[in-house]
Structure 1
Amino acid sequence: MFDISFWELFIVGIVALIILGPERLPGAIRSTVKTVRSVKNMASGFKTEIEEQLRVHELHEDLKKAEKMGLDNVSPEVAQSVEELKQAAMSVQEPYKKKKDDDAK
């Protein structure tokens, strides 16, 4: 990602020590690490969300293909996608079924 050598980090550390002083340097390092960590977490969350949206879009495309083909003679990949969608729909409905059963009692 970044091409930073040991000597470049060493020089940055020395300059930071001179500018901030030994009292404030540990706090500055901690806040920098915390900021970098939060940026990495935000980027990975964004990446995960995009991948999930692409997967959902692909499943919808497979479902449209299956509907056009009549769900009888579809490829195994499309059939698997349809089955995944059915399972996802059942898992979404599951909490509501439990709530209805509890309300009926």
Structure 2
Amino acid sequence: MFDIGFWELILISVVGLVVLGPERLPVAIRTVSRWIGAARNMANSVKDELNQELKLQELQENLKKAEQMGMKDLSPELRDTVEELKKAASEVQRPYADNKDEQPSATTSQKQD
């Protein structure tokens, strides 16, 4: 990420100690580390979502190609594979629909308690 060496870290810590003082420096370090952690988590989340969308798009393109080529000309093993791909594509889309359905039921069960 950044090319920060040992001596640069020492210089930053000395300047931070002089500017913030020994009482506020640990709090400032914790706050900055939380921000960095939150930024990393957000970046990883976005990256995972993009990868999942790309895989879904690739599956759909492969299914369209197979349908255009004609399902009748395919061998039985290939047909089974295409059916498995269709199921996988529908399962990838299903968690988003399930989450919407589960949220109201969770609130109704809480109201009943």
TM-score category of the 2 structures, normalised to the smaller one: 0.7 to 0.9
Report the TM-score, using the length of structure 2 for normalisation.
0.70
Paired residue for 1:16? Answer: 16
Unaligned runs of at least 5 residues, structure 1: 96-105
Which structure would you say has the larger RCO, counting Cα contacts within 8 Å and 6 or more residues apart? 2
| CA distance in structure 1 between the aligned counterparts of 2:38 and 2:46, rounded to whole angstroms | 12
Deviation of 1:84 (Å): 3.0
Q: Identity of aligned pairs, percent?
A: 43
Q: Indicate the residue corresponding to 2:28 in structure 1.
A: 28
Q: Which moved more, 1:83-92 or 1:65-74?
A: 83-92
Give the ranges of 4+ consecutive aligned residues of structure 1 lying more than 6 Å apart after TM superposition: 76-79
Change (3 A) 1:52 1:87: closer
Question: Residue 58 and residue 78 in structure 1: after superposition, are their counterparts in 2 closer, same or farther (change >3 A)?
Answer: farther
Q: What amino acid maps onto 1:32 in structure 2? A: V
Residue 84 of structure 1: aligned partner: 85
Give the total of aligned pairs: 92
User: Where do 1:47-66 residues align within 5 Å?
Assistant: 47-66=47-66
| Alpha-carbon distance in structure 1 between the residues aligned to 2:65 and 2:45 | 30
Change (3 A) 1:18 1:81: farther
Amino acid of the residue matched to residue 59 of structure 1? L
For structure 2, which runs of at least 5 residues remain unmatched after alignment? 99-113
Relative distance call for 1:81 and 1:45 in structure 2 (3 A) is farther
8 Å CA contact retained: 1:59, 1:81: no
